[in-house]
Amino acid sequence: MTVFLGLDVGTQGVKALLLETGHGVVGTASRPLSTIGGLPPGHSEQRPSDWLDAVRGALADLRAQQRARFERVTALAVSGQQHGLVALDAHDRVLRPAMLWNDVRCATECSEILAALGGRDRAFARLGLAALPPGFTAGKVRWLFRHEPEHYAKLARVLLPHDYVNLWLTGEFVAEAGDASGTGWFDVRARQADELACEACAPGLFGKLAPLRAAGTPAGTLRDAIAAELGLPQGALVALGGGDNMMAAIGAGAVEPGIATLSLGTSGTVFAAASQPVCDPAGEIAPFCDSAGGWLPLGCTMNATVATETARALFGLDLAQFDAAVRSVPDGADGVLCLPYFTGERSPDLPTATGAFVGLTPRTSTAPHLARAAMEGASYALIRLLDRLRELGLPLRELRLTGGGSKSRVWCGVIAAASGLPTLTGVHPDAAAVGAAVQAAWTAARVAGAPEFGLAACRARFFLDRELERLPTDATAIARHAAQRRRWQSFLEALAPRYAALAP
C-alpha cells in the first residue's frame, strides 16, 4: 500500500504522521517546541533551526516505530503555523529569530500600512481585507524595516514558517496561496501578492517574496542529502503544504462547500470551504484562500479553552471533575452567562476586553454554574462567527469539531445544541498533519496523471471519516441555548462600548 507523510510544524511542537491507503493513520510521533524566553510583553519568537531539529527528532521516532512503512513514503507535505516571519539573507541564512503569529508588537505599523493603502475601505476594495491584525506578517516586516534596519538591509527572502521548511527539504523557494493569504499584502480575490500593499509594508518587499505555485503542484522533491539524513526515499515528492488552518480543513474534511469546522484550542477557529472569495467588510471573517484552489473564510476568537481552563483553575478541578460540574447544571446555566474575553478579543475587535460573569445570585454562585457559563460563553463566541459566515452568504449544512476541547463530550453537546447545525465528532486530533498527508497524496495523484482527482475522493481512500459520529440533540436544549444566546448577545452589545473605551 502507498504511504504518505504529513508534518505539522506548530508553535508548541512538531507532529509527524503516516497515512496509508486503505488503512488510514498508521503511525504518529511528535517533539515539543518552546518560544524564546525573556522577551518584552507582546513579543513571541522561535528559532527556525529549532523547527528543523524537531522535525528530525519526530521523524527519527516515527521511523523507529514504522520503519518498513517509513521507507515506502511516496510523498509528503508540511503544515505550518501561519503569519510568522522568517527573514533570510542572500545566502539563505536566517537573519534573526522568527516573529510568530502571536507576536503583536507591530500594532502601530499595521495602522500605518492601512493608512498608506488609503484606509480601511480602500484596503478592503483592493485586497478583500478590512482589518490588518498585528499577528499578520505585514506589520512584522514593517517593524523589521523600522526597528532593525541592519537586518532589513540584508534581507533577500521573506518566508512563512512552512515555506522555510519546504526550502530546507527541497531547495526550492516557493509559496502557495493559502498560507500567503494570511500575510496582509495578498489580494485574496486574485490569489496573488499585491505590489502596492507590499510597498506599503517596506520598500522592495515585493521582490523578496517567493513565487507562487498553483494548488496541486509540487514544491519539489526531497534533496538527496536530506533524504539520506531523514531515512526517506530519494526523490520523494514534496507537495506545497500550507498554513495549519488550511491543512486542518483538509484533514477534517471541509473540502467542499457546506461543511464547516470548529476547532477548540487555546483560541478557537471556525472555517468552511468556499468556491469563491468570501470577504467581510466588518473584518470579523478573514478571507483566506485555501490550499486546494478555493477559499477558506475563517473566524478566530482568542478565548476557547482559555475560558474553560480559567474556570477550572479557579475551582481546582481536573478535567473529569470539570465536565461533571458542567453536566450537573442545565443548558443555559440557570441564567448565568460569561463573556469569555479573559485575554482580550479579536472577534469582535476588543483587545482590552476582560472576562465577565453575569446573572449571579446566591443560588447560582456555584462552581458548576460558573463552569457551564464559561463553556457556553466560549461556544457562543465561536457560534457567533458561524452566524457571520452564513450572513455573508455561505450555506452551511454540517459542522465538524476538532481541537483539544472537542475531547469533552459535554462541550461537543453544547455546540451541537447551540449551533443549530448537524454536528459531528471523531475528527482525528492531528487534523493539520492528516491534511498535509492527504494533500501530498492528492498532489502525487495529479502528478501521476489524474488531474481531476479531488480531495474528497482522495480522503475516501484512507477511510478517514469512519470514526465520525453525529451528535444527538433535543428540542429542550436547543430552545434553552437559543434564549441564552440572545441574552449573551445583548450583554455583549451593552459592554462592547465600555471595553472599547479602555483602549489606550
CA-to-CA dists, residue 437 to 16, 26, 31, 310, 404, angstroms:
9, 12, 18, 35, 21
In degrees and rounded to multiples of 5, residue 288 shows phi and psi of: -65, 150
**Residue 244 among the catalytic residues:** yes
**Do residues 434 and 253 touch, judged by C-beta distance below 8 A?**
no
Q: Which of 404, 463, 401, 407 is nearest to 19 (CA)?
A: 463
Hey, is 95 helix, strand or coil? coil
286, β-bridge pairs = 298
CA-to-CA dists, residue 481 to 334, 362, 470, angstroms:
11, 22, 19
350, β-bridge pairs = 345
How many angstroms separate the CA atoms of 92 and 170, rounded? 13
**Do residues 372 and 325 touch, judged by C-beta distance below 8 A?**
yes
How many angstroms separate the CA atoms of 100 and 163, rounded? 14
Give the count of beta carbons closer than 10 Å to the beta carbon of residue 404.
Answer: 13
- Residue 354 zone, left/alpha/beta (φ > 0; ψ -120 to 50; rest): beta
Q: Which residue among the candidates 244, 331, 334, 387 is catalytic per the annotation?
A: 244
CA-to-CA dists, residue 100 to 42, 45, 54, 184, 246, angstroms:
11, 6, 17, 14, 17
**Do residues 161 and 141 touch, judged by C-beta distance below 8 A?**
no
How many angstroms separate the CA atoms of 68 and 65, rounded? 9
Please give the helix or strand (H or E) that residue 350 lies within, else none. Answer: none
Concatenated DSSP letters of 246-273: HHHHHHHT--STTEEEEEESSSEEEEE-
How many angstroms separate the CA atoms of 374 and 357, rounded? 8
How many angstroms separate the CA atoms of 427 and 406, rounded? 9
C-alpha cell at 338: 460569561
Which residues belong to the active site? 244
